[in-house]
Amino acid sequence: MDLVRNLFGSTIGRKLLMAVTGVVLIVFVIGHLVGNLQVFEDPDRINGYSHFLQSLGPALWAARIFLLVCVALHIWAGTVLAIEARRARGAESYAVKKWIQATVASRYMRWTGYVVLAFILYHLAQFTVGVAQPGTFKANLPHYTMKGAYRVLGVEVVRAGTDVLDVRSMVILGFGNRLVAVFYIVAVGLLSLHLLHGADSLFQTLGWRNHRWARGLRVVVTVFCAAYFLGNLAIPGAALLGVLH
Ligand code: HEM
């Protein structure tokens, strides 16, 4: 009980919550990108992968609920920390430079966070529920018959000949609308910046900011965020260029 009170009731506890939920969400977005990049391979790959995920049933729902709780806690802790920081700055208004830096950083995190949240809501409506964009309504999507089996770590999880939803076509049709494709590119760009800045805050919380390998770590994080952006850009970008069909 004390642990819960400390986590939710103290600034350091909320920073820790922010960090832990942030790491969970980063792991998710990396896994999601790796899964999505299968769109560039044979249709068996991404369609089999999506069918496998859907077949997990209750485990998929448990993962969804867990992610949702992490998103909610991340937003809650971030909002409370921002309010606290603003109050603290009000009390120390003489520290002008620090104030300006902190305000720009937290404003920027807040706004990139809002756009990413709006993107996720649209994205869920478009691809998970399948109701946001007429061409990709899930109810009207074509089905696909698996040519071969889909395997995870060598284990067959979807058999050849299985009738699955054609998720690959859904993604390509979705990005057939240029406005949607550009919105995705802007949103994943802002998400990458959010990750870059979030990593800074994480290192600050962990006390690594002034460590002797802090500069090296910063380079690794910057390269990672750039690679993450390029990986995500590749899918709507390829659809816009007509490479993905
Ligand atoms: C180019 C980028 C992306 C593509 C092509 C893409 C594609 C997809 C597809 C096809 C699905 C539905 C899977 C299915 O029903 O089988 C999905 C679900 C989802 N995506 Fe993405 N995605 C992209 C980026 C992102 C990003 C950046 C985030 C998070 C910030 C994200 C979060 C989610 C979530 C939370 C789900 C719901 C998973 C579930 O069904 O439980 N996606 N995505």
Per the model's pLDDT, the better-predicted residue between 53 and 86 turns out to be 53
Written as one string, the DSSP assignment of 14-75 is HHHHHHHHHHHHHHHHHHHHHHHGGGGS-HHHHHHHHHHHHHTTHHHHHHHHHHHHHHHHHH
Q: What is the pLDDT of residue 172?
A: 93
Q: How confident is the model at residue 202 (pLDDT cuts 50, 70, 90)?
A: confident
Q: What is the pLDDT of residue 97?
A: 57
**Collapsing DSSP states into helix, strand and coil, what is residue 145?**
strand
Residue nearest to atom 11 of ligand 1 (CA): 127
The rounded Å distance from CA 218 to ligand 1 centre is 27
Q: Residue 164 and residue 142: Cα distance in Å, rounded?
A: 9
Q: What is the pLDDT of residue 93?
A: 55
Architecture of domain 2-240 in this structure:
Up-down Bundle (1.20)
Q: Which atom of ligand 1 lies closest to the CA of 236? A: 1
Q: What is the pLDDT of residue 132?
A: 83
Domain ranges across the chain: 2-240
Q: What is the pLDDT of residue 164?
A: 96
Is the pLDDT score of 95 beyond 70?
A: no
Q: Is residue 135 packed enough to be buried (19+ CB in 10 Å), middle (13-18) or exposed (0-12)?
A: middle
Per the model's pLDDT, the better-predicted residue between 203 and 123 turns out to be 123
The rounded Å distance from CA 217 to ligand 1 centre is 28
Q: Which of 24-33, 74-83, 89-98, 219-228 has the lowest mean pLDDT?
A: 89-98
Mean pLDDT of 204-219: 81
* Ligand 1 neighbours by CB, cut-off 6 Å: 29, 32, 36, 50, 53, 64, 116, 120, 123-124, 127-128, 167, 171, 184, 188, 191, 232, 235-236
Do 157 and 56 touch, CB atoms closer than 8 A? no
Q: What is the pLDDT of residue 122?
A: 94
The rounded Å distance from CA 234 to ligand 1 centre is 14
Q: Residue 95 and residue 181: Cα distance in Å, rounded?
A: 43
Do 201 and 209 touch, CB atoms closer than 8 A? no
What distance separates the 2 farthest-apart alpha carbons in the chain? Answer: 70
Do 158 and 164 touch, CB atoms closer than 8 A? yes
The rounded Å distance from CA 127 to ligand 1 centre is 7
Query: Please, which contacts does 118-122 make with residues 24 or more away whose CB atoms are closer than 8 Å?
Result: 118/187, 119/183, 119/184, 119/187, 119/188, 119/191, 120/71, 122/183
Q: Residue 245 and residue 241: Cα distance in Å, rounded?
A: 10
Residue 106 CB neighbours (<10 A): 19
Q: Residue 199 and residue 222: Cα distance in Å, rounded?
A: 9
Q: Residue 22 and residue 38: Cα distance in Å, rounded?
A: 25
Do 218 and 19 touch, CB atoms closer than 8 A? no
Tell me the best of 128, 232, 244 to mutate to test the pocket of ligand 1, counting ligand atoms within 8 Å of each CB and taking the most: 128
The rounded Å distance from CA 32 to ligand 1 centre is 7
Residue nearest to atom 4 of ligand 1 (CA): 36
Using one digit for the tens of pLDDT, what is the confidence trace for 160-176?
A: 999 999 999 999 999 99
Do 65 and 227 touch, CB atoms closer than 8 A? no
Using one digit for the tens of pLDDT, what is the confidence trace for 179-201?
A: 999 999 999 999 999 998 888 88
